[in-house]
Structure 1
Amino acid sequence: MESRIKQRVVIPTRYGDVEFCTFSNLSSNTEDFALIFNHADSEVCPKVRVHSECITGDLFASKKCDCGDQLNEALELFSSTSGVIFYLRQEGRGIGLYNKIHAYQLQVEGMDTYEANQALNFDHDSRSYIAAVEMLNALGMHKIKLYTNNPDKVNQLHNHNINVVDICKTGCYLKPENIAYLQAKVVKTNHKLSIGEVI
């Protein structure tokens, strides 16, 4: 069944008036949503960030990852210009919050972030971006400028007929606590971070 827009409402936030958009019939069966800044959905080629939920980083500013920093970058940029954030509820690269906390303990014991997920009998990255494709289609967005360092995200969107006409790297938010995490992303999943930036 085709995904459709369910509700749109403008909410005043610290980033200005932001339109929150919900959807019906998403294949993810989770409450994914879009944040639309400054009528970006009316643009021919809007700026887009497809962001997977990271409660520890997005909400509590964890230093173990760069997720919250990337989200804040998009919020600041899009609120001052325009853009759309698609927020996907797939915590811990798709394994859920409790399992992610368990994976953190395995990382303390010496595993990297991907090895920890696999030790818990998950794929190293279980995320799907199909829900983002469905939301993009529901909003009539077929040509986008994507803000990401993740080549798998680009490939999944391309493979479902989203025309990513430009890929803009997000910042490299290096901290002593996340060096190993960023290095693993570069080495194991080819994230577009300069090696020099994370060593």
Structure 2
Amino acid sequence: MNIIQSNIANLPTKHGNFKIKAYTQDNQEHLAIMSEDFENIQIPYVRVHSECLTGDALGSLKCDCQNQLNLSLDFIAKEGGLVIYHRQEGRNIGLLNKVNAYCLQDKGRNTIEANLELGFKEDERNYKIVKHIFNDLNIKKIKLITNNPHKIDYINSIGVEIVERIPAVTEVNEHNIDYLNTKKDQMGHML
């Protein structure tokens, strides 16, 4: 596993001031977004946020991704901790396939059915880089901001102790209700 990492830089944002560090693995670039006081926090709040260009950058109402990211950045800026921006678009099927999955969803498939119809598993993500980032930043215990039981299982499997889980619950709308119900009913998300 060949990983390249950047130096730490400052990033002032509308959410607050952060420190950032980039990591590259398998031609995917990921970002650690740390509160300014991160180095002084013994048990940081952490969000592993999976990239969603359509939600994060374009404000898509089909998901809750941008709302979860904004909620997490605001929380981390205030309480201290880390957001790992995990760049595996569309549950790691890529942007082109994600748009094709959207097309299938427009025809009545849910997110799982669309991925399966395109020849993928329901979730193709892997979290190897998360372990590297935790090791690099010397993180042993966290307060995890998530609804996803698979992220909890992975973090437990790498020996990082989750001392608390903070829900990342945001607004439901007419465009994302089926998506959220699929995550809850078929993927076990704690919504």
User: Which residue number corresponds to residue 116 of structure 2?
Assistant: 118
User: Which residue number corresponds to residue 50 of structure 2?
Assistant: 52
Distance 1:90 1:23 in 2: 13
1:32 partner SS: strand
1:99 partner SS: helix
**Mapping 1:115-194, distance limit 5 Å:** 115-193=113-191
User: Which residue number corresponds to residue 84 of structure 1?
Assistant: 82
TM-score (norm 1): 0.91
Give 1:108 deviation, angstroms.
0.9
Distance 2:16 2:74 in 1: 10
Deviations 1:141-179 (A, max 9, x none): 111110000000110111111111111111132110011
Give 1:135 deviation, angstroms.
0.5
Is residue 2:110 matched to residue 1:106? Answer: no
Unaligned runs of 5+ in 1: 194-199
Distance 1:178 1:13 in 2: 27
State percent identity of aligned pairs.
38
State whether residues 41 and 80 of structure 2, in contact with CA within 8 Å, keep that contact through their aligned partners in structure 1. no
Distance 2:92 2:5 in 1: 24
Distance 2:40 2:131 in 1: 17
User: Which residue number corresponds to residue 9 of structure 1?
Assistant: 9
Distance 2:39 2:96 in 1: 35
Deviates more, 1:119-128 or 1:165-174: 165-174
Unaligned runs of 5+ in 2: none
Paired residues, number: 191
Distance 1:10 1:180 in 2: 38
Q: Which runs of 4+ in 1 moved over 4 A?
A: 1-5
